[in-house]
Each structure stands twice: as C-alpha cells, then as structure tokens.
C-alpha cells in the first residue's frame, strides 16, 4: 500500500512572519496525522526557517528548484549540497513554471533530477501538458516524452527514490481542476510506462496530482487508485485549507 504525500508549493510567496505563523499552525494541526506524508516547498531564503521550525515534526521541507551543476561560477544558482545543508529532503524539478517562464528543457530537468538523487534527496518530477496539447490529443505523448528524457539520464531503479507529480498546465492556478477520471487516466498511464521498465518501481512510486487542488475536490481526487497525494499551490498558503487537504489524504 503506497502512502499518500501532500506537499505545499508556496511558489514565490511568504515572509519570515507569515511563514512562522503558517509553519507553527501546520505543526500543531498535523501532529496527530501519521497516515500521510506532508511536505512544504518554501523559497530558498526561508529554508533555514523551515529547518528550525519543522525539524522536530514529521513535516518535511524542500526546495522549488536547484541547479544542475555541483558548484562554480553560476551566479544566482543554488546547489544540491546547499539544500542539504538546510535539511531539505525533497526538491521539485521541472515545475511547469520553470519549464515555461525559465525555459527549462526536458534535458535540463533530467540533469536536475540526477543531481538531486546524487545528493541523496528525493526529486519530485513535475510533468504535464498544456491546454493546446490536451486539445490536440497529445497529453500522453508529451508526458511520456518528459519522463523518457529523465530515463536517458538516470536508471529506472533511481525512480525508487523519486516522486512524480502530474500537473496539467491548464489546471495550475486557474481554479480548473482535472476531473478525478482525467487525473486517474494519466496517473495510470504513467504507472504503465514505468512498468514497461520495472514493475516494482511502477507499483511503489508515489504519483501526485497537482492543479487547483482544494479542500472541496481533494476527496474525489484521492479516491482514484493511482493518485497518491497532491502538490498544492494556492491552497497551501492557507493553513486551514492545507490541513483539510492533508486530512483528506489520510
Ligand atoms: P495550484 O498550483 O494548486 O495553485 O493550481 C499547483 C502547482 O503549481 O504546484
């Protein structure tokens, strides 16, 4: 039985004061929830704060992006070893905002995935199609391409230490959620793809859904057999909503 993981993607939001309130509320409210894995992805300057406020709890924290390079003259970049210094155990790679706005290619995403694994952290590989791609029937081929690009860089066994997040781009921050059936269809296809390489890896991997997950749609999404949790953007900024989503998963 796969455990569910609910992760909050704070994106470029937060401040010392806001985070202090939010993290303290989460620790208190989720104390009794041992059934679900919970994580937050804060922006890099606040990872030290996550470490100090979450270290004694079961809530994990991670980064929203990382450099594919180990160190060197890469102004503005943050390396995996720096994230390890701040206690990160998870890193988002290939979020659609990084792919679209910052032009991250499948090849760069694959290198970041490999870098995260080499640092013994868990990459959360985000995949998903745009509205145009969905409407022209390319959803599955786009996702297969995104995952195969990573498999050119690492082995299938490496996916044992990874998480996949299916995030249809048209559902992110738009209030439009994929229907539970649409999510299930893609999640099952991702698991089938991995099973062609290794059935055990396919069975064990957590596949999260992301895209306008809210307290009122979480139950139906989590009821799908291949949905193992959620990557939550907007609703993760409201502690009450995020806790409700975590509790829906457990
Ligand atoms: P959303 O964001 O929940 O606000 O749609 C999800 C994400 O981008 O991870």
Q: Which residue, among 243, 169, 166, 175, has the nearest Cα to 213 in the 3D structure?
A: 175
pLDDT at 175 over 90: no
Atom of ligand 1 nearest to the CA of 172: 5
Mean pLDDT computed over 30-43: 95
- Please identify which of the residues 95, 97, 129, 153 carries the catalytic annotation: 95
pLDDT tens digits along 47-97: 999 999 999 999 999 999 999 999 999 999 999 999 999 999 999 999 999
Q: Catalogue the E-assigned strands of 43-184.
A: 60-63, 90-93, 122-127, 163-166
The Å distance, Cα 155 to ligand 1 centre, comes to 28
- Show the CA angle centred on residue 130, arms to residues 125 and 133, nearest 5°: 115
pLDDT at 9 over 90: yes
Q: What is the pLDDT of residue 225?
A: 98
CATH superfamily of 4-249: Aldolase class I (3.20.20.70)
**Taking the domains of the chain in order of start, what are their residue ranges?**
4-249
Q: What is the pLDDT of residue 1?
A: 82
Residues having CB closer than 6 A to ligand 1 are: 9, 167, 172-173, 210-213, 231-235
Asked about 167 being catalytic, the answer comes back as yes
- Per the document, the length of the chain is 250
Average pLDDT, the chain: 97
The Å distance, Cα 74 to ligand 1 centre, comes to 28
- Show the CA angle centred on residue 24, arms to residues 18 and 28, nearest 5°: 145
Atom of ligand 1 nearest to the CA of 235: 3
């Amino acid at each position: 039985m796969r455990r569910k993981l609910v992760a909050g993607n704070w994106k470029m939001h937060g401040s010392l004061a806001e985070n202090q309130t939010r993290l303290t509320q989460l620790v208190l409210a989720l104390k009794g929830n041992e059934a679900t894995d919970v994580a937050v992805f804060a922006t890099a300057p606040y990872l030290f704060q996550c470490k100090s406020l979450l270290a004694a709890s079961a809530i994990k924290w991670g980064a929203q992006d990382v450099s594919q390079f180990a160190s060197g003259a890469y102004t503005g970049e943050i390396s995996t070893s720096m994230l390890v210094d701040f206690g990160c155990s998870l890193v988002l790679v290939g979020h659609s905002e990084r792919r679209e706005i910052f032009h991250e290619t499948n090849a760069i995403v694959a290198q970041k995935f490999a870098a995260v694994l080499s640092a013994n952290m868990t990459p959360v590989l985000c995949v998903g199609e745009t509205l145009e791609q969905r409407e022209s029937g390319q959803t599955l081929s786009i996702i297969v391409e995104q995952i195969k690009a990573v498999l050119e860089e690492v082995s299938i066994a490496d996916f044992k230490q990874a998480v996949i997040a299916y995030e249809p781009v048209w559902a992110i921050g738009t209030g439009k959620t994929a229907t539970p059936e649409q999510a299930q269809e893609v999640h099952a296809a991702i698991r089938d793809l991995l099973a062609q390489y290794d059935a055990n890896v396919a069975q064990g991997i957590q596949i999260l859904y992301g895209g306008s997950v809210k307290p009122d749609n979480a139950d139906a999404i989590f009821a799908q057999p291949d949905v193992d949790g959620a990557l939550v953007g907007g609703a993760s900024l409201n502690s009450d909503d995020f806790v409700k989503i975590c509790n829906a998963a457990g």
